[in-house]
Structure 1
Amino acid sequence: MTSRFEWATIDSVDPRRLADFWCGVLGYVVYDDKNGAAVEIGPDPEEPDVRRLAALRGGSVVPSIVFVRVPEAKSSLKNRVHFEICPIDTDQQTELERLLALGASETDVGQGDGRSWVVLADPEGNEFCLARSLAPGEFDL
C-alpha cells in the first residue's frame, strides 16, 4: 500500500496573485477559487474527475497547488521546502528572463557562485530554483 502526492498547500497573503504567478510559470489553470481565501491550480483538466482520480490511484501524477490565505507574510528565513523547475521547450537563460518578467526575482540563500541552477523568489518571497533545461538539444539521454 502506498499514498500519492496529490497537492501542495502554500500559505499566502494574496492567494490569487500567487496562483496567477504560478499558472504563468507552470502553464497551469485555476481549478477552484474560494473567493480569494484559497485558490487551487493544476494542469489543464481535460479529463473528467473520474479519470483523474483513476490516474492518481494508478501512479504518480502531477500534483496541484493550493494557495491559502493567512494573515502573516513569509518569514525572512529560507524555505525548508521549495520547488525545482526545469524548462521543457527553451534554454535556461530564456526561461529565466520569462520568469523575471512574470514577477520572479533572483535571490541569494547562500548558494554561492558557479551553480548550474538559479535561485528565484515568487512575488511573496517563496524561494524556488530554475534548474537545467529539459528541452530537446539542451538535455538528451
Structure 2
Amino acid sequence: MTLNWQCIVVDAADPRTLGPWWAELLGWRITHDTENEVVLEPAEGSPQDGVSPDLLFIKVPEGKSTKNRIHLDLRPDDQAAEVARAEAMGATRVDVGQGGDKSWVVMTDPAGNEFCILRAFTPEELASF
C-alpha cells in the first residue's frame, strides 16, 4: 500500500482572498481557482515543484475560533527581511506562549492562521544537506 501526500487543506471564509495572499508570500502559483477552492503549487521548475504538497484553501462558513492544531514553518534566507515583508503584506506577530528567546517568529495571516518564520540556516548547516 502506498500513500502520497497531496496537499495541506486550509479552511477559509474567503479562499479567493487568502489563497492569493499565500501565493504572494511563498512565490507560488495558483493552479485552481473557484469560488469555493483555491489551489497553490510551487513555482513551476522550482526545486519545490512536484515535491512540496499543494496548499488547498477551501471555503467554510465559520470563522477561525482557536489556535491552529497544525501550522506552516517557513525557512527564509533572511528572517528579518521576510518577517518585515510578511508584516507589510498584512501578517501580524503573535504570542502563543513561545517566549521571547526563540529563534522563530510566530505570525498570523490576514485570516488569523498561525505560521512561523524560522531563522535562516547557517552556511555550515546548508553544507550538510
Q: Give the TM-score, by structure 2 length.
A: 0.87
Q: Which residue is equivalent to 2:20?
A: 20
State how 1:61-140 maps to structure 2 within 5 Å. Answer: 61-75=51-65, 77-87=66-76, 90-134=77-121, 137=123, 139-140=125-126
**RMSD (Å) for aligned C-alpha atoms:** 1.9
Which ranges of structure 2 fall in alignment gaps of 5 or more residues? none
Larger radius of gyration between Structure 1 and Structure 2: 1
Distance in structure 2 (CA, Å) of the matches to 1:138 and 1:94: 21
CA contact (8 A) 1:133 1:139 kept: no
Cα distance in structure 2, aligned partners of 1:117 and 1:10? 22
Counterpart secondary structure, 1:140: helix
CA distance in structure 1 between the aligned counterparts of 2:61 and 2:118, rounded to whole angstroms: 31
Instruction: Note the residue ranges of structure 1 that are not aligned, 5 or more in a row.
Output: 47-51, 56-60
1:140, distance to aligned residue in structure 2 (A)? 3.3
Higher RCO (CA < 8 A, seq sep 6+):
1
The percent identity for this pair of structures is 41
TM-score where L is the length of structure 1: 0.80
- How far off its partner does 1:138 sit? 8.6
Spell out structure 1 runs of 4+ moving beyond 6 A. Answer: none
Structure 2 equivalent of residue 49 of structure 1: none
**How many angstroms apart in 1 are the aligned matches of 2:118 and 2:21?**
18
**Equivalent residue pairs, number:** 124
